[in-house]
Every structure is written in structure tokens, then in C-alpha cells.
Structure 1
Amino acid sequence: MNRQKSFANDQEGIGKLYVVGTPIGNLNEMSPRAIDVLKTVDLIAAEDTRHTRKLLSYFEFSTPLISLHEHNEVSKTEDIVQQLLAGKSVAVVSDAGMPAISDPGEVLVDAALKAGISVIPVSGPNAAINALVASGIAAQPFTFIGFLPRQKKERQKELQRWSKMPTTLIFYEAPHRVKQMLHDCAAILGDRKAAVARELTKKHEEWLRGTIAEIINYLEGAEILGEYCVVIEGSTDNEDDTHNNWWNDLEVVQHVQHYIEGGMDKKSAIRQVANDRGVPKREIYQIYHEH
């Protein structure tokens, strides 16, 4: 068991590790407390020191920086823990939002706690929570999943893991993969209520709310820019037990028509049906046009 009194002086000679949230786009969301912590610590462990140096410069102060990113977190953690044990205070930050949430920080936090070092969170913006509360989808319970695997087969396998969860699902996705990711969501989860947010807190913040099919249809002809946060409603009690095969009783033409009625254009609907059934797109195209 670990008992921590964050602001008691019961660890004389040992530093504290601060997990500090930073803006996800709008610098005005940087809290006074976060600024104060970053000003006064001995060292900041940053995901990208160049990015964090710009942040510090904007608020007109300078604190020594050390890099801590996904490729060096394990190797750098031991050194940072030794500095904490020697009495230095350290803040860990990511490029945006809260560290350790789809960003570096988790390994360092775990190692610090095992070494008996106090770990103190300093609240800040988070894209997942922002997207959730404005999505129009049930805010609780929810399950944060983050980034899905990049490869289609692994991505679909991971979606299958969560397909029967009754909780709202939250994902992060890169712009060049978001359309295919949503196609896979439609195939595995069904055409559920969803919301997609991009460029949260920034000048070009944009929301798409509707069904997965409606959002896919819009994105087919849209310019895809910025990082995306995807919120999808959870499984409901009246969903078919076979879940990802909800279309079993539909003929191919009915299956295609289902997606068209949901907002997809014909080309996208045929592609999605082929994806659902695991058959070549030309086969669905031929059957649909023959009827």
C-alpha cells in the first residue's frame, strides 16, 4: 500500500513529481497553478523540448528541460527518478493535454511511486473529456480507448474486444486514418450514434454529430485536417447477440440500402457492405446493380 500526503513535509530531501496538464490548442487554458509549478520546479521532462520551450517562452519564463518521449521513456526514467531522490522537483508534460493519456508519462509515474516519491497531478485540458461532454452521447459510464492499431486486421480485432461494452467509447485518431477507422467501427459496432471532433479549443474547431454512416458520408468529400477525437455510443440491450453480424437477415440490396438511408452515398454504402461481409467490392456492386 502507498499512502501519500501530497503537501506534507514528510519526505525531507526527496523531490516531488508533478504531472502537469498543458493546453491542447488554446493557450488561454493554461492554468495559473500549472504555470507556477512549471516555473518553480528544478526540471521539466517534456515529450518534445522544442514544443515545450515555445510554451515557456509564451509565458515568459525558462526552466531546464529534458526530453521524455515514447522512444526514450524507459531509459530516461531511471535518471529522472535518481534526480527526484536527490531532492530535485520534476514536472512531466506532454505536447498537449495530460501526460500518460496516449502520451509519455506512465512509466515515469510508476517508477516514481515504486521509489516512494510523491506524484502530484496538476489539472489541465484533455481532448477526450472535452469531446465526451459536448458529444451529445451519454457521458457516463465511458471507456477511453485512445488510438486503435494502425493495421486493419488488428484494428478490427481490437474493436471486437469492445463491441459489447455498454459504455460510451472514446477514441483518438490521426487524420489519414480516421475514415478507414470509422468504416471499421461501422462494420464491427454497427451504425451507432457518434460524434467526431477535431482541432478542439482551436480556431478551426469542428464537430460532426450523427450516426457513424452519416459522418462517413460527410468525410468522403471533406478535407481531412487536424487530430480527431471520436465518441461512439455503447452497446444497447436491444442489439443482436451476433452484434457484428446484425445484417445476417438482410439481402445484399437491403444491406446497401440500409447505409444509403443512413446518409451514405451509394459508392460508400457498397464499400461498407463489402467490408461488413468480407467479400470483394465488385461482387456487391454487381449484385446491387443487377437488382
Structure 2
Amino acid sequence: METALYLIPVPLGETPVEQVLPAYNAEIIRNISVFIVENVRSARRFLKKTDKNINIDDIEFYELNEHTNKNSIGNYLDPILKEGKPMGIISEAGCPAVADPGADIVALAQKKNIRIIPLVGPSSILMSVMASGFSGQSFAFNGYLPAKPQERAQKLKQLEQRCYKENQTQLFIETPYRN
């Protein structure tokens, strides 16, 4: 297996992994023993769903989320750089590095000339464009909306104006607990 940083998409909700991800992803995952994850507990669950025979105790996890100090991630890629081990990034749900702290690791890997291999999987962003009936020729992903109600309302008005002015579909993402 190639020494690289693999970006592993995770299905949303309770959809069975094998219905959404190609078997190729499971084969890659079986050969990785070091993962950068948003949440260790949910990453372990995802790995077990992907392959029930995977030995979770043999896997090393680096946690990367909104609480991680960005100054502490400098050594997260040492298993690739010093030991030649392939590594994977597992997002909480969806695609690593898209509205996700994994982008910081990907940027760091690029600076260190580490090969980055994104794996095929569902993207809620593209799936929403496909199913929306809105323009798929021109769209913008705007990340998360502001948490404060007044700022969020203002941002939604700005996005609405861009829809009409630029004939551009505006996409954003929201967390279930703020929904």
C-alpha cells in the first residue's frame, strides 16, 4: 500500500457503509493503523462498521476537532514522515477537510510534500446540488452559518441576494444541534 494521507469519507446517519462506500475504501482502511479523527469513539464505530474484524486496539488515533490547539498538530504526520506508514483522516460525517478541521492537516501534508489521496464517497454538498433543482452550473459552498441568530439572519439575506444577483446556488452546512 502506498504511503500517503488517505481522506476517508463517512456516510451520514445510519446508512450501512457497504451501501454507500465502494469495497475499495474498506480494503484501504484495513491497511491503515494510524488515523486522524474528529472523535475517537465515533471513528471506532465507523471502522467496525466498515470491517467487523478490524482490531481497534491495534489502531493509533490522533484527535483533531474544534478543541484541538492548532499548534499541537505539527507532529500528527510523523507516522508517515518518520515511519513510512499510511495514514487516514476520518471526519465525523461527510468528507474530510470540507467544513472540517481536517483541512489543517491536509494543508500541512501538502507543505511537507506528502501524497494525499481522497477516497470516493458521498458528498452531502454535491448531493444537495443534484437534488435541489437549482443551478448546478454555478454554486458556492459557504461553510457554516453564524451561531448568533441576528448574524445568521444577516448572512442568510446576503446569500439570498447573491442567488439573485449572480444566478448562483448558495450552499451552507448546519449542525444537527443548531438545526
Superposition TM-score, scaled by structure 1 size: 0.52
Segments of structure 1 that go 5 or more residues without pairing to the other structure are 1-6, 8-14, 179-291
Does the CA contact (< 8 Å) of 1:24 and 1:126 recur in 2? no
Residue 81, structure 1, aligned to residue 48, structure 2: no
Secondary structure at the aligned position of 2:100 is classed as coil
2:109 aligned residue (112, 137, 157): 112
The AA in structure 2 aligned to 1:169 is: Q
Deviation at 1:41, TM superposition (A): 1.7
Answer whether contact 2:62 2:76 (CA < 8 A) is retained. no
1:29 is the counterpart of 2:20: yes
- After alignment, is 59-68 or 124-133 more displaced? 59-68
SS of corresponding position for 1:132: helix
Give the aligned residue type for 2:21. Answer: M
CA–CA distance in 2 between the matches of 1:22 and 1:177? 21
Alignment deviations for residues 166-210 of structure 1 (CA, whole Å, 9 cap, x no partner): 2111122245654xxxxxxxxxxxxxxxxxxxxxxxxxxxxxxxx
Larger Rg: 1
User: How many residue pairs end up in the alignment?
Assistant: 165
Q: Look up the match of 1:231.
A: none
SS of equivalent to 1:145: strand
Amino acid at match of 1:126: S
- 1:166 matched residue in structure 2: 167
1:156 Cα deviation after fit: 3.6
Query: Equivalents in 1 of 2:177, 2:94: separation in Å?
Result: 21
Contact 1:37 1:91 in 2 (8 A): no
Task: Quote the offset at 1:89 in angstroms.
Answer: 1.3
2:43 & 2:168 partners in 1: Cα distance?
35
* Aligned residue number for residue 131 of structure 1: 128
Q: Which residue of 2 aligns with 1:17?
A: 5
Match of 2:30 in 1: 39
Quote how far apart the aligned CAs of 1:130 are: 1.5
Partner Cα distance (1:160, 1:104) in 2: 27
Query: What SS does structure 2 have at the residue aligned with 1:92?
Result: strand
- The structure 1 residue matched to 2:140, chosen from 139, 143, 146, is 143
Task: Work out the CA distance in 1 between the residues paired with 2:108 and 2:175.
Answer: 30
Match of 2:47 in 1: 56
| Residue 68 (1) aligns with residue 56 (2) | no
Q: Is the 8 A contact 1:73 1:104 kept in 2?
A: no
User: Does 1 or 2 have the higher relative contact order (CA < 8 Å, sep 6+)?
Assistant: 2
Give the secondary-structure state (helix, strand or coil) at the position aligned to 1:18.
strand
Measured after TM superposition, the shift of residue 73 of structure 1 is 6.0
Per the alignment, in what secondary structure is the counterpart of residue 142 of structure 2? strand
In structure 2, relative to structure 1, the CA distance for the partners of 1:166 and 1:73 (3 Å cut) is: farther
User: CA shift at 1:64, angstroms?
Assistant: 3.0
Identity %: 28
RMSD: 2.1
Contact kept, 8 Å, 2:34 with 2:79, in 1: the verdict is no
Unpaired segments ≥5 residues, structure 2: none
Is the CA contact 1:19–1:91 (under 8 Å) kept in the aligned structure 2? Answer: yes
